[in-house]
């Protein structure tokens, strides 16, 4: 063999060796897949594919995709949570969607659950609800479109419900329908109007208090007693959610910061604008918890009456967390979902 041929072969071997080392190095640096907290009475639904994705502004979020048995699906439910919530809290609801033949894709918002935190403490914080919009757009582009079967349906609770409405107003092509549980349109019994609260929060942020706790009385859900809690009337589900946090304290999110509050009231003020309801062009169904003490039920009803492609339904006896409520209330919630998404009549 000629010397030139030997050198050529050695160059190729060296190149392939370097590629192999580089690939091994990349594998070594890749973060391990997230592990979900599984406790008695709250198993991880079958068919889960855990993962991470990075938003367009560089925040790493924990995600999961669930596929139903049999392969074929009716489409994909994109499930977005409320403030402080996490994927494990929705295992039961995810199983309900899977049983109806839907795939489910979900993630933890930035600053909570198993996603990247934005403060050294467990306080909930974002600079703007545009950050949540960034999370949802990145998830849609990087997880839903390449990995999940269409059509896509957006299901959101509380804070996730407000972000869902903002998404529906800004991009009518991302999702076919939007199903919301107690969306955070407004909060009752505030000292100022929604816009006034937004200005107050922004002022405190400018004074350097943006990362300070906005609540002195906030009780972590892992320590909250069931009696007179504002979330659910179902003791078993309430205890289960606390047990998850006691088993995985890293998933817990505490009180919001003044910065988060300012961002939230600013987003609520946007949703209260005169033009906002008419800018939503896709079908929306909002469920109102009749006994809600967290968000304003009258505000949700008022928005439902002003929307051209949306409406609302009041669920009697329900507290804020409709998906975590008693079996009879959850049956009403899932019946509304079936009529609107599973087998829509209009």
Model confidence over 108-164: pLDDT tens digits? 999 999 999 999 999 999 999 999 999 999 999 999 999 999 999 999 999 999 999
141 assigned to some structural domain? yes
Residues whose CB falls within 8 Å of the CB of residue 30, separated by 6 or more in sequence, listed in order: none
Nearest Cα to 83, choosing from 247, 222, 203, 255?
255
Single pTM value for the model = 0.90
| Size of the chain in residues | 346
Sign of the Cα torsion 81, 85, 90, 91 reads positive
Please name the helix (run of DSSP H) or strand (run of DSSP E) that holds residue 162, with its range, or none: helix 159-170
| Number of other residues whose CB lies within 10 A of the CB of residue 280 | 23
Tokens encoding 151: 């059509």
Report the DSSP beta bridge partners of residue 124: 256
Name the residue with tokens 């974002």.
126
**Is residue 46 a contact partner of residue 94, using CB atoms and an 8 Å limit?**
no
Q: Quick one: how far is CA 178 from the chain centroid?
A: 13
26 assigned to some structural domain? no
**Is residue 244 a contact partner of residue 37, using CB atoms and an 8 Å limit?**
yes
Nearest Cα to 144, choosing from 167, 128, 111?
167
Residues whose CB falls within 8 Å of the CB of residue 331, separated by 6 or more in sequence, listed in order: none
C-alpha to C-alpha distances, 161 to 38, 194, 216, 308, nearest whole angstrom? 26, 17, 26, 18
Give the burial class of 331: count Cβ atoms within 10 A of its Cβ; 0-12 exposed, 13-18 middle, 19 or more buried.
exposed
Tokens encoding 249: 């304290």
Name the residue with tokens 């998906």.
323
If DSSP codes are grouped into helix, strand and coil, which group holds residue 153?
strand
Q: Quick one: how far is CA 149 from the chain centroid?
A: 19
For residue 171, what are the domain limits?
32-342
- Each of the 346 residues of the chain gets a pLDDT tens digit; together they read 444 443 344 444 343 333 343 344 444 466 799 999 999 999 999 999 999 999 999 999 999 999 998 877 899 999 999 999 999 999 999 999 999 999 999 999 999 999 999 999 999 999 999 999 999 999 999 999 999 999 999 999 999 999 999 999 999 999 999 999 999 999 999 999 999 999 999 999 999 999 999 987 777 888 899 999 999 999 999 999 999 999 999 999 999 999 999 999 999 999 999 999 999 999 999 999 999 999 999 999 999 999 999 999 999 999 999 999 999 999 999 999 999 999 987 5
Tokens encoding 148: 């999940």
Q: What are phi and psi of 315, to 5 degrees?
A: -100, 110
Sheet strands (E) in 19-86? 48-54, 60-66, 76-80
- Report the C-alpha gap between 66 and 174 in whole angstroms: 20
Integer Rg of the chain from CA: 22
Structural domain count of the chain: 1
330 assigned to some structural domain? yes
What pLDDT is recorded for position 220? 83
**Is residue 112 a contact partner of residue 121, using CB atoms and an 8 Å limit?**
no
The domain that holds 275 is classified in CATH as 3.40.50.1820
**Is residue 222 a contact partner of residue 246, using CB atoms and an 8 Å limit?**
yes
What pLDDT is recorded for position 17? 38
What pLDDT is recorded for position 22? 37
Nearest Cα to 128, choosing from 268, 271, 262?
262
- Report the C-alpha gap between 248 and 112 in whole angstroms: 13
């Amino acid at each position: 063999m000629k010397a030139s041929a030997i050198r050529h072969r050695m160059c190729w071997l060296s190149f392939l060796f370097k590629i192999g080392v580089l690939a091994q190095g990349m594998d070594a640096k890749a973060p391990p897949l997230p592990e979900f907290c599984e406790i008695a009475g709250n198993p991880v639904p079958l068919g889960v594919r855990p993962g991470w994705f990075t938003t367009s502004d560089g925040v790493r979020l924990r995600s999961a995709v669930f596929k139903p048995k049999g392969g074929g699906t009716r489409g994909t439910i994109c499930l977005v949570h409320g403030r402080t919530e996490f994927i494990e809290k929705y295992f039961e609801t995810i199983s309900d969607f899977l049983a109806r033949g839907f795939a489910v894709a979900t993630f933890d918002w930035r600053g909570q659950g198993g996603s990247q935190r934005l403060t050294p403490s467990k306080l909930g914080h974002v600079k703007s609800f545009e950050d949540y919009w960034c999370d949802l757009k990145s998830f849609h582009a990087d997880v839903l479109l390449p990995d999940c079967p269409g059509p896509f349906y957006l299901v959101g609770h509380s804070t996730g419900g407000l972000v869902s409405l903002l998404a529906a107003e800004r991009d009518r092509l991302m999702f076919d329908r939007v199903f919301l549980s107690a969306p955070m349109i407004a909060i009752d019994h505030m000292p100022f109007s929604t816009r006034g609260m937004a200005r107050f929060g922004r002022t405190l942020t400018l004074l350097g208090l943006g990362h300070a706790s906005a609540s002195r009385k906030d009780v972590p859900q892992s320590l909250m007693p069931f009696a007179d809690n504002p979330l659910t009337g179902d003791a078993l589900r309430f205890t289960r959610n606390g047990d998850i946090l006691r088993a995985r304290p890293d998933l817990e999110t505490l009180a919001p910061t003044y910065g988060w509050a300012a961002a939230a009231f600013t987003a609520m003020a946007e949703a209260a604008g005169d033009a906002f309801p008419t800018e939503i062009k896709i079908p929306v169904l909002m469920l109102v918890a009749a006994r809600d003490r967290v968000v304003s039920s009258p505000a949700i009803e008022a928005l439902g009456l002003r929307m051209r492609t949306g409406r609302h339904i009041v669920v009697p006896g329900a507290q804020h967390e409709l998906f975590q409520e008693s079996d009879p209330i959850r049956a009403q919630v899932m019946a509304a979902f079936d009529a609107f998404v599973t087998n829509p009549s209009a």
